[in-house]
Amino acid sequence: MRGLVRRYGLALTAIFIGISAFWMLALVWLPYSIMVEQSFRHYLPFSQIGGPTDVYTMANYLSLFETSAMKDLLGFTIPITVYIFLTTIFYSIVVTALCAALAYPLAWYLAKRAPVQTVPMLIMLLIIPMFVSELLRTYAWFILLAFSGPLNVLMELVGLQKVRWIAGYNGVLVGMVYTYLLFMFFPIYNSLTSLDNNQVEAAQDLGAKWWTVHRLVAIPHAKAGISSGCTMVFMFAVGSILVPQLLGSPSSRWFTEVIIRTMFESQDWNAAAAYSFLLLLVCIVFVSLMMRVFRVHLSDIAK
């Protein structure tokens, strides 16, 4: 603090701190505090807000367990909202794992194997599709994956059975992996470029086969990038709304769709706030899990 003042003067320091404080307080803490506070209150007509019935309650959270509609999951019959909540987390993890499985080899190739002159070109090719808005790209997948769409036509041409892609979670998985792949790719790519080639060669020279080189040298080196990519993709996937709405089917609801319905169709902002807060908690748990699993610090993930 004193260092900042000495370096930039009192006025500039005040501006820096003021802007940061405004960001943190007004744009992060304030809305979240309001949301959390709202989530513990009943959904009441305007005239009763502040009245004797406006008390703190767990009812919004408990509404998750409402038993009017049930669904089977792994042999248990559970309320449908809980089912959606759990499948959303599960498929977000699947999306994250798929992204990591695809992005790592790609990042390895671009960081270590591709001829240096071609790398900027290849990275441009990866980025160019991102110039198109997410909405249009998702619609494009809607067309590609349609039952009479190009993908099935192609499969018929090579003699394969047509597949109903937009059924269950297939379309959602494809769409999300496509949309979020780069958020996994870039952190891994960045961490792999800093890996000394001599370390790879040293491992090979000591007798390591290629997968051992990855398991013992390259992946441990890239773990900060992998965990940061996993965190981002998971948070985007859990909070995604566009892809599940366009590429989902009636049998594949996403938890964000439940929140939107509660908010705009039921107009029950209090319950929606409770559900949103749950989603936030899931993300926090996931980040801490990542830090545990990869033994990295928050500063590594935030890189």
Partner 1 sequence: MGEGVDLSSVSIDFGNFRAVDNVSVEIKPGEFFSFLGPSGCGKTTILRMVSGFLDPTAGQISIGGRPMNGIGPNKRPTSLIFQNLALFPLMPVWENIAFGLRVRGIGKAERRKKAEELLRIVDLPDAGDKMVGQLSGGQKQRIAIARALAVEPKVMLLDEPLSALDLKLRQHMRAELRAIQERTSVTFIYITHDQGEALAMSDRVGVMSRGRLRQVDTPEMIYNAPADSFVASFVGENAVMDGAVEGYQGEFVRFKTVDGVFLGRPGPGVMPAAKSRLFIRPESIRIGGQPGANAVSTTITSVVFEGNVISIVGHTAGGSHITTQSTNTFGSARPQVGDQATFSFDPSEARVLISEDAAKVPAGGH
What does the binding site for partner 1 look like in residue numbers (CB under 8 A)?
196, 198-199, 201-209, 212, 216-217, 220-221
Closest to partner 1 by CB, 209 vs 303, is 209
Nearer to partner 1, 222 or 238 (CB): 222
Which structure tokens are listed for 36?
């959390």
Instruction: Output 221 or 253, the one with its CB closest to partner 1.
Output: 221
User: Which amino acid, 201?
Assistant: E
Rg over CA atoms, the chain: 24
Residue 116, burial from CB neighbour count under 10 angstroms (0-12, 13-18, 19+): exposed
Q: CB-wise, 44 or 202, nearer to partner 1? A: 202
Supply 216's token pair: 């013992």
Q: Who contacts 264 (Cβ-Cβ below 8 Å, separation ≥6)?
A: none
CB of residue 232 to partner 1, shortest distance in Å: 23
Nearer to partner 1, 69 or 206 (CB): 206
Smallest distance, partner 1 to C-beta of residue 300, A: 13
Q: Smaller CB distance to partner 1: residue 3 or 207?
A: 207
State the minimum distance, in angstroms, from the CB of residue 230 to partner 1.
19
The distance of closest approach from Cβ of residue 101 to partner 1 in the complex, given in angstroms and rounded to an integer, is 22
Q: Name which of 55 and 216 has its Cβ closer to partner 1.
A: 216
Least Å distance between CB 207 and partner 1?
Answer: 5
